[in-house]
Every structure is written in structure tokens, then in C-alpha cells.
Chain A
């Protein structure tokens, strides 16, 4: 029954609406802000889950892709092009509809790239980088793969932290809202409920894509890679192509999360690129069960929400490390995995 796989999606939609109603009824709408933010982090988690659970590859560099999405959007939508308005390149961008005029906090008129076109650039750059990193990295395994992706993430962090026009330690602020079908992705209080739905609709779409992917020919090929790469290759599965495609897809998911969260927060700082963030995503996926999209989504939503509410105080990083160790010691298949142990 192919419809059965969509039932949980329906349950998700019901849960999303139910939570909003409950929160509004309890006059605690402020929870929606953290729920919105954790939805964007969940995009990263979903991508990583596909990569870890289904393609059997670890990535300790997802925060790097998240930061690339956020920073490219932030830079392009805040870089004032008015002094260059007469140059042919900028004129061409204007004619293509890539530019948008807006007023900043001090009523100065700015001419910047429109958020849509900035997003296109961010996604393009992410895909190119993911291909560039992925081509050689996908051949690696175990330590080598972990270290290569960690190295990539650290390079992004160092560059972000050391580059003047990326704001160095201050990051970038003043990022405009993202207009979307008459709504806008922004942290303004007037848009809180709308943004909650925008964020979870995006999660819903990505999840739909992921669920369909997992149940398709590609998904079966990926699972065969995880089960035994040699055997998969012997059966004629082009393992490296599938692994590369999943790596790129997970990077795109992370990049999308970064873009939207940056517009939502109105800015981004270097801490988003820190390697601890990457480790945190891995911890969440491990806790949810690597080959369990629903478990990963649940763990991602819950743990990010609690962490953003400040539940763990100054033990935040330690908490995620403890989860990581605990899960790996006692439940290598994940806390929420339905499968029996002893594989």
C-alpha cells in the first residue's frame, strides 16, 4: 500500500496545526519563535539523516553548508549596489529582476539583490561546493571521511571569522525579510504565526521529498550501499554517484535552512558555522536513529526547541555530547529506532 507512507505526513500536519492551536489557546505564542527556528534546523537534520542513515556516510561539516547559505544570502541582500548602479553588470541584474530597492533602519534607500535571487546564488554555490568537496571525499571512509568533512566545516568557520566583509566575529545583521506569496519570512512579532507555518511547510515539503526518495529506486540503491558497498556495486549500483547525489542533497537541505533562518533572524553570526553545530546535528540524527527520518525529525524538533529555550543552560554542549556518547554506547541504532538490536 503506497499510501501508508503518507499517513505519518498527515499526522505531522495535524501535529503542527495542533501545537499552534494549543500554544495560542494557552496564550504562550512566544513558543512559536523557537519552534520556527528549530524547524529550520530540522532541515539540516533531515538532509544529514539521508546521508548518514541511507547512504551510510558521516558528515561533520553540515554547519559549513548551513553557514554558506546564510552568509551568501546575508551578504547579497545587504550589499548596497547604488554606487555601482550605472555599471552594465548591475544594470543587467536589474533588467533580469534580480534587484530590489528598500529602506534600511535609518531611512536610507538601498539597492540590493532581491532575497529570491540571493537564494539562487546561495544554492548554486552550495551545489558547486558540495560537488567539489564531494567528488574526492565520497571515496573516503571512516576517519578519513569524518576528518575531511570536519576540515571543510572548520575552513568555512575560519574564513567567516577572519573576513572583513563577512563581519568577522560580529556576523552580518540588517538582513531584510524574505517575501513569499504575499507573506514574509521575518522575525517580526506580527508575522509570528505565519512564519511558524512557513517554516513547517518547508519541513513538510523536504520531508515529502525525502520520504519519496527513500521509497524509490534511489532509496533502495542507497540502502544497499549501507548494507554492503561491495555487494551493491556487484549488483550494478553506481555507488559513488548515489553517494555524491545524497551528499549534494544534504548540503542543499542545510543551505536552505541557513538561508531561511538568516532571513527569519535578520542576521547570522559565525557561531552558526562552528564545528560544535555540526556535531550537534550528528548527535540529533544519532539519537533519532540514523535510518529513521521520523525519529530524526522528532529528535531535531524537540532537542533544538529545548536548546533554544535555554533548558540546558551552560551545559548545552555537554548535554549534546552526552547524548552522542550515550546513544552510541547503548543504542547504536538510535533511541527511536523500531528495529531490533543485535545486527
Chain B
């Protein structure tokens, strides 16, 4: 493999990986406040993409994306209000099954609201044939948008969790929900906020990748399972580790194509998921002491 070729693969790997990382962060935000994996996370990406594609026919692109994010956040809030909030002390299994059902309902809803056609948002800058040359490799400007927006999302979230009251309150919920409530934090409100935040991040990511990977009603679940793999790989709940894990999985997937048939690409990341679950369920970056105390 020549250097140019290697670098080409590398660029495509980190582009993919950064999207996986964003999905994983969406998982982590909800997991941290509720202790639940939201299986419908992948659908947020597709919903955001779908709405943006439809709106972009009438509105300028940035406005269409902003509206799509807002509407998806509304859907996230609605999901929490209607299906999650009023349950008293639900078991994890119950919540898994509910969010799994929601992901199917959202998917089928999109199928009937739109249709089964593959759509794509306009490229943010340039078009599908424009490309930039970096160190002998070619990269679409949209891939740079993906990398840039992912980086901004991660940075802004970091600041949000460190320096704002709401962000700190959410972290308190993640550490100990009961203690947080005793300190006067309205934990239920934090749960709603986390659903909105996850939905919004997901929708933004969905819009950003739409020009590259297209948007179709049933593409959410495969994205979600990749995102989950990354979340586990980094250690569930640990958003910064998810970024590293996302890049690792993206690179692994892209380079697996040079060894295995393309049809098995998804099987590779699933195998990674199983191996991690079997041997190191705390994730690559989980500390040993923590793992002893945790239940998997």
C-alpha cells in the first residue's frame, strides 16, 4: 500500500469514525442521566436528515438544517414526555424494549411520511465532484465539514458540561441521581434535556453526513449499532473516550475493506462489539477498579 493510498483510507476512516463518535456521544448523554441506552438514537440522525432534505427545497440550507435540528429536538422531548417520564422506577429491560419499539415506530413513521427513496442533502460547499488534494489524497469538502462539525460538537459539549449550570447539573445526575435530587436538581427535567440534546446532536450529524452517505428511512439502526459499539469500546458513559473509540472503529472498518469483501464490512464492527463485550465490557479505557464494582 502506497503512502497516498494509506492516507486516503486514513482520511475516510476518521470521517466515518467521527460520525460514529457523535452517535456514541448521543447514547452517552442519555445513558448518563437515565441509565438507559436509547435504541432510537440512530433514527434521530435519519429524521434530522429527512426533515432537512425536505425543507431545503424551500429554505436556504443553514436555515433548513437549523429547523431540522429544532424539530428533532422536539421529537426527542416528546419521546421523553410520552414514553419515559411518567414510568415509576422502570426496570432497565423495560426501557430497552420501549426504546427499541420506538426506533421501529419512528422508522415506520418516516417510511409512511416520506417514502423508501434514497435522498441526499446538498453539499454544504462545492458539489459531489469537487475535491481537495491533501498530501496526495483526495477529500471531499463535505468530509471536512463532517470533521469540523464533529470537532465543534465535542468542544461545545465539553464546555457545556464543565461551565454551565445545566451541564453541571446533568453531570451530577450521572454521578448519582438520588444525591442530585437531594441537592435540589430537578432530575426529570435533566432527563428531558438530555433527550433533547441527544436528538439535536443526532439531527445535526445526520444533516452533515447526508450529502456523503445519503439518507434513507431504514439507515438508522445500522448507524445506531456502530455508535453503540463505539460507546462500549470507549466505556459506556464516557464521552471523551468515545471520540477515540470512534476513530479506532472508523479506521478499523476502512482498512478491513482492503482485506475482506465489502459485504462483510458491517460484520467486522459487529465482531468488534462482541469481542469487547465478551472480554472487556468496561471498554478500552475503563479502569480496572471501576470494573470490579460495576455490573454488566
Contact = CB atoms under 8 A, between A and B. Distances in A.
Interface of A: 58, 60, 133, 136-137, 139-144, 146-148, 150-152, 154-155, 158-159, 161-163, 275-276, 279, 282-283, 286, 314-315, 317-318, 320-322, 324-325, 328-329, 332
A123 B91 CA distance: 34
B87 A321 contact: no
Given A158-B263, A162-B264, A328-B94, A147 B101 contact: no
25 contacts: A140-B277, A141-B92, A141-B296, A143-B36, A143-B236, A146-B100, A147-B225, A150-B225, A151-B274, A154-B266, A155-B274, A158-B263, A162-B263, A162-B264, A162-B267, A279-B104, A282-B97, A317-B107, A317-B108, A318-B109, A324-B104, A328-B97, A329-B87, A332-B91, A332-B94
B92 A142 contact: yes
Contacts of B232: 144, 147
A155 B221 CA distance: 14
B105 A325 contact: yes
B96 A146 contact: yes
Interface in B258-295: 261, 263-264, 266-267, 270-271, 273-274, 277-279, 281, 295
A325 B101 contact: yes
A325 B221 CA distance: 18
A326 to B, nearest CB: 8
Interface of B: 36-37, 83, 87, 90-94, 96-98, 100-102, 104-105, 107-109, 111-112, 221, 225, 228-229, 232, 236, 261, 263-264, 266-267, 270-271, 273-274, 277-279, 281, 295-296
Contacts of A139: 296
A317 B104 contact: yes
A154 B96 contact: no
A342 to B, nearest CB: 11
Contact of A143 (B96, B111, B112, B278): B96
Given A328-B94, A328-B98, A154 B225 contact: yes
Contacts of B225: 147, 150-151, 154
A137 B278 CA distance: 7
Given A58-B93, A282-B97, A328-B94, A318 B263 contact: no
Contacts of B271: 155
Contacts of B266: 154, 158
A321 B104 contact: yes
A143 to B, nearest CB: 5
Contacts of A162: 261, 263-264, 267
A318 B97 CA distance: 14
B115 to A, nearest CB: 11
A317 B261 CA distance: 31
Contacts of A140: 277, 281, 296
Nearest to B221: A275
B104 A147 contact: no
Contact of B37 (A60, A147, A163, A286): A147
A309 B267 CA distance: 33
B250 to A, nearest CB: 18
Give the 10 A-B residue pairs with the shortest CB-CB distance, closest first.
A162-B263, A321-B104, A136-B278, A318-B108, A324-B101, A325-B101, A142-B92, A158-B267, A321-B101, A143-B37
